[in-house]
Structure 1
Amino acid sequence: MSSDLLQRGKNIKLAIFDVDGVLTDGRLYFLEDGSEFKTFNTLDGQGIKMLMAAGVQTAIISGRKTPVVERRAQNLGIAHLYQGREDKLVVLDELLGQLNLSYEQVAYLGDDLPDLPVIRRVGLGMAVANAAAFVREHAHGITTARGGEGAAREFCELILRAQGSLEAAHAAYL
């Protein structure tokens, strides 16, 4: 973990996640009746919960809209959910105005081109290991884990470590 990433993570007050390819493996599953399902990693969910317990707010911004994501956000207690929003930078600006935060206080984890404007704008913009190559090139850092396979947990723990909260988060379970 680079000192630059730890420095960037120190002042994060809001962590934002893309869904497809970040909180999931990026595959879309459609049933015959038109409904869809996604699989989420429990390690990622626990990381998000630890981050929130440490006082970092969380949000999801997704270009797609599905009830499954709404249910996942509710299960985790993620208060800020934006679905069906292709221009994620516009959503970021709305959210920052609402929460009275600056770009430098935001961390974002994404995987594809629609995420890139936000990744480049925020204080800590990261890509998952299997993100599009162009996105990885422009991110501040890249997780070792792939999307849907613990990348969000890694991202959360990086922020917790940068803020000196990771040991306390782990100690709560000892």
Structure 2
Amino acid sequence: MIKFLVMDVDGTLTDGRIYMGQNGESVKAFNVKDGAGIVLILPKHGIIPVIITARESKILKNRCQELNITEFHQGSKDKLETLNTILSKYGAGLDTVAYAGDDLPDIPCMEAVKKAGGVVVCPSDAIPEIKAIADYISGFKAGDGAIRDCINYLIQKDSSCFKDRIDEVIEWIQAEGYKTGANLPAGCTYSIQEYMTKAEEECILESHRNHIDIQYMIKGNELFKTYTNECLISSGEYNEEKDVEFWNDGIISSQSILVPGSIIIVSNNTPHKGAILFYKEEMVKKVVCKLEV
């Protein structure tokens, strides 16, 4: 599971050009799409952005503050040593790292990350030695959206990794494992919930950052809606202990009628609202499995 996106700067986040004035470096160009990916996508998937660069730049410092990047390390003489120091602070290993680089100074980190089982990515204009190591080569050049493209790749890669685990949970449900709790798949918890359905305006819109919901209807009927992440306004702070965040109404993405035997899968960071009455109020009984991501 990737928990860190570690990025070089010149030639990765920027196009590699350095504009020098009489008083030193004067201009750096950053791509807005890269920034949006760092600010809007990574936090929703629990991925911490990290900057490690050999150079020092006030412009870069300002950009990191703008993007809320707190793991920001300039003037690194040994990038791998810096990376290991950061990971030790979190009690994490190199296998939790995705590393984005473009040139020779990045090779020690990329080789170490890949050997440990992490992921290495690069822009389309990285040097051949980097491309030979990379798990993914973006179709975009550095400073032209390569980091955003790599972020999309990482999210999709992580999502596809859960298919087998989701299938395992579904098989457990269909075998009625919830009746005894025996042989519960690893990384999964479950509860059996009973409640009355109610008017939609009384139901709660919520999402989970670190779990996939797999719900199975035993008895009753309910309307279940999922929402896009656009135009959402939080109605309270994220509760880390319960892994839940509440929202005011947003834009509906899909709706389903759940009947006995129905199974619905709700990805992490997907706002959803259940318990909505379907024609009439009624008692519902369901199994709710939470698969850790």
So what's the TM-score if we normalise by structure 1? 0.87
Matched, 1:42 2:18: no
What residue in structure 1 maps to residue 50 of structure 2?
59
What is the CA–CA distance in structure 2 between the aligned matches of 1:119 and 1:139, rounded to whole Å? Answer: 8
2:34 counterpart SS class: helix
What is the CA–CA distance in structure 1 between the aligned matches of 2:132 and 2:55, rounded to whole Å? Answer: 24
1:123-167 deviation digits (Å, cap 9, x = unpaired): 0011211011111112222111111000100111112222339xx
Instruction: Give the alignment of 1:1-174 within 5 angstroms.
Output: 11-49=1-39, 50-122=41-113, 123-164=118-159, 171-173=228-230
Higher fraction of strand: 2
2:159 counterpart SS class: coil
What is the CA–CA distance in structure 2 between the aligned matches of 1:131 and 1:146, rounded to whole Å? Answer: 8
1:50-79 deviation digits (Å, cap 9, x = unpaired): 112321111000010001111111100111
What is the CA–CA distance in structure 2 between the aligned matches of 1:171 and 1:150, rounded to whole Å? Answer: 23
Residue type of the partner of 2:134? A
Higher fraction of helix: 1
Instruction: Show structure 2 runs of 5+ residues with no match.
Output: 161-206, 208-226, 231-250, 252-293
**140-149 or 29-38, larger mean C-alpha shift:** 29-38
What residue in structure 1 maps to residue 269 of structure 2?
none
Q: Which structure exhibits the higher relative contact order, with contacts defined as CA atoms closer than 8 Å and separated by 6 or more residues?
A: 1
What is the CA–CA distance in structure 2 between the aligned matches of 1:153 and 1:140, rounded to whole Å? Answer: 16
Contact 1:86-1:114 within 8 A present in 2 as well: no
Contact 2:2-2:97 within 8 A present in 1 as well: yes
What is the CA–CA distance in structure 1 between the aligned matches of 2:140 and 2:121, rounded to whole Å? Answer: 12
What residue in structure 2 maps to residue 5 of structure 1?
none
Contact 2:97-2:119 within 8 A present in 1 as well: yes
What residue in structure 2 maps to residue 3 of structure 1?
none
Contact 2:3-2:47 within 8 A present in 1 as well: yes
Contact 1:120-1:139 within 8 A present in 2 as well: no
What is the CA–CA distance in structure 1 between the aligned matches of 2:2 and 2:25, rounded to whole Å? Answer: 36
State the aligned residue count. 161
Q: CA deviation at 1:36?
A: 2.1
Residue type of the partner of 1:150? G
